[in-house]
Structure 1
């Protein structure tokens, strides 16, 4: 059955109970509360909600939700921009570069994510199954491995034709392959595109002799990797993401809800970091600099109030990223607390003569302020940069940072 797809822009579009139905609305709320209890994922009003600071996809029993960044483009292009950002930053273990380049990035997010996962896993399985020696114990008609005397006496006191043995078997039925199978079973019922079904069927064919087990937190936190299975790392990390955010409840049915959600403020910051390093050189950018403090306690002699700007460039420029709109109704808008923070940075960093808040370009036409710190040549600025195309981001940052 094809699911209903709801596409919304982060911090902008609202989903109402009337849009999706009371049962689906309740299911979505319950899923978020269960899987993201410590994160502010949504903002709620009466029978309506919108997603805050997170983008990605949530799949529930009857509805698929896509949350994309609002950058005033078409929804297809905003989806493509998100995939490009995920690829540039290596936010996910699998790149979407080819899918963005060929235009597949305009497909629904879930299909793109699952296609990348299934193609990578199938490619590695075709090269050969990962096998390990696994310890087994069984009551056999032939002696194999080591005779477990205590168990043998208990089980075979009146059976002279069997021996209870423990032995090692070279098998594909190991924890890594069990991880893959568990993830594949979660997404199987949500894969409605023919090519994805084929990939999934082939993957499950390779894993036919692998047990399907439940993964708890302890199992997921085990070390899956060694020198023999490194080629499976990316697919395994993706599988872990699927399992970690899966819930088996969906209105009492045995179907899994799961999600791929990403904190947009952190994604934006990482994206800008990659672009800045291309503009001024990797060695000239320090991220999350934490060597300055604002105040000194006279009584204790200790320095207090740690300053931690997002980026310090060549000791002379400070950049802080803000995933929020810099305009409201075509006029510049800002949070005074952000300006106080920038004042603290530019004051504490004596060699810095310039700092700016960097926002995503969402609307056009607004003129943003440029402040001078009184009695100094230091400035505090607001700047915006496009995020729909990485090369475009680099060129705009180059103009902002170095003026060329």
Structure 2
């Protein structure tokens, strides 16, 4: 029986009251192994929480859902996460259908797997990808090329066989091996009849495909061409499964895998898509990297690269911050963020506003607007809704009103 624990990123704690000590240790060990250089967990004594990352971690018989804290309801937070992933194409497969059909009210993993299996099954229905693979085999009839030295070595006393090398048109290639590996990893976690049926049908197309273990080099060796390009999205998704999978053997074997996404990167990409909708592509530059803050007097080189998230119409700079802008009814900010915005507004002579943009949450207070001394430039804290894309676009339009032409003009 799979136990599902849903927590909000940087907010809800998981303790040994929620899971056994063994399950608690397994989660920590898995994260340390698969995300060694990333800060995924905030650990305290006998408790932990996920920070900076959202998604799903499947460890043995416990599934951890990590959702962004946007609304009061975890179901709505789950829906918002799926919509953000869909809109940004942060994953190689779109989740629009799951959002539209209300399937997000299930769990995140089922939404991910449903889309993956439907896409893969649709492509298999057009025919599995086949390649010519070289084989060597001792046969009773000559096929392809006779490998003379190996033939003599193997058939010195067997006159009725020939050791042959030949090319065979087969589905047993690395791409299909990847699909089979990914399908077998998630097989035991597809809990609905429809998903199980889709998965078994996919495996049916791969019946003659070998089961192999994938190394990083083997994963990187999978290439795409005109014949298999239609499988690209499904293959990238399968790679996510295989790359983050591991096997624990402590009395029993269990596959563990995850789909985790950096929330600050997802928020930034989501705002980028919303800004393009609000102000038009021609007036928006993302990750602008043309300005440097200082010049080295000895070398003459300009140093300290400035890289704001967005420059709009050369009048507004906007930097996204995935954190709460309010704490106990008061604005909360990090001074280094303000210094960074001051550096932007100093280097960009034509810029009039620098905005630190945070996700809007309940209980928002009025946030400050700072005037830069002896100028008419401002540094501001603003928040925007992220639970509904149309509302995000509308609030950005209102926030930036007067600094860009209408998208249709």
The alpha-carbon deviation at position 314 of structure 1 amounts to 1.0
The alpha-carbon deviation at position 280 of structure 1 amounts to 0.9
Q: Which residue of 1 aligns with 2:341?
A: 342
Q: Which residue of 2 aligns with 1:360?
A: 359
The alpha-carbon deviation at position 224 of structure 1 amounts to 2.8
Cα deviation digits, residues 259-305 of structure 1 (max 9, x gap) = 00000000000000011111111121111111111111222211111
Cα deviation digits, residues 96-124 of structure 1 (max 9, x gap) = 11110111122100000000101110111
Q: Which residue of 2 aligns with 1:160?
A: 159
Q: Which residue of 1 aligns with 2:235?
A: 236
Q: Which residue of 2 aligns with 1:175?
A: 174
2:223 equivalent to 1:213:
no
2:252 equivalent to 1:224:
no
**Separation in structure 1 between the aligned mates of residue 360 and residue 97 of structure 2, nearest angstrom:** 25
**Separation in structure 1 between the aligned mates of residue 275 and residue 46 of structure 2, nearest angstrom:** 42
Question: Are the equivalent residues in 2 in contact too, given 1:356–1:382 (CA < 8 A)?
Answer: yes
**Separation in structure 2 between the aligned mates of residue 192 and residue 103 of structure 1, nearest angstrom:** 17
The alpha-carbon deviation at position 251 of structure 1 amounts to 3.4
**Separation in structure 2 between the aligned mates of residue 365 and residue 129 of structure 1, nearest angstrom:** 53
**SS of structure 2 residue aligned to 1:380:** strand
**SS of structure 1 residue aligned to 2:157:** coil
**Separation in structure 2 between the aligned mates of residue 365 and residue 50 of structure 1, nearest angstrom:** 24
**Separation in structure 2 between the aligned mates of residue 241 and residue 259 of structure 1, nearest angstrom:** 8
**Separation in structure 1 between the aligned mates of residue 364 and residue 220 of structure 2, nearest angstrom:** 49
Cα deviation digits, residues 9-30 of structure 1 (max 9, x gap) = 0000000122101000000000
Question: Are the equivalent residues in 2 in contact too, given 1:175–1:224 (CA < 8 A)?
Answer: no
Q: Which residue of 1 aligns with 2:295?
A: 296
Q: Which residue of 2 aligns with 1:278?
A: 277
- Can you give the 5+ residue segments of structure 2 that lack an aligned partner in the other structure? none
2:255 equivalent to 1:267:
no
Cα deviation digits, residues 369-394 of structure 1 (max 9, x gap) = 01100110000000000000111100
Q: Which residue of 2 aligns with 1:131?
A: 130
> Where has structure 1 moved over 4 Å in runs of 4 or more?
none
Q: Which residue of 1 aligns with 2:11?
A: 12
**Separation in structure 2 between the aligned mates of residue 355 and residue 95 of structure 1, nearest angstrom:** 33
The alpha-carbon deviation at position 363 of structure 1 amounts to 2.1
- Can you give the 5+ residue segments of structure 1 that lack an aligned partner in the other structure? none
TM-score by length of 2: 0.97
**SS of structure 1 residue aligned to 2:202:** helix
**Separation in structure 2 between the aligned mates of residue 120 and residue 351 of structure 1, nearest angstrom:** 48
**SS of structure 1 residue aligned to 2:250:** helix
The farther-off stretch of 199-208 and 250-259 is 250-259
**Separation in structure 2 between the aligned mates of residue 250 and residue 285 of structure 1, nearest angstrom:** 51
The farther-off stretch of 134-143 and 295-304 is 295-304
The farther-off stretch of 96-105 and 341-350 is 96-105
Q: Which residue of 1 aligns with 2:387?
A: 388
The alpha-carbon deviation at position 250 of structure 1 amounts to 5.5
**Separation in structure 2 between the aligned mates of residue 311 and residue 32 of structure 1, nearest angstrom:** 32
Question: Are the equivalent residues in 2 in contact too, given 1:330–1:363 (CA < 8 A)?
Answer: no
Q: Which residue of 2 aligns with 1:398?
A: 397
Q: Which residue of 2 aligns with 1:188?
A: 187
How many correspondences in the alignment?
403
Q: Over the residues paired in the alignment, what is the CA RMSD in angstroms? A: 1.1
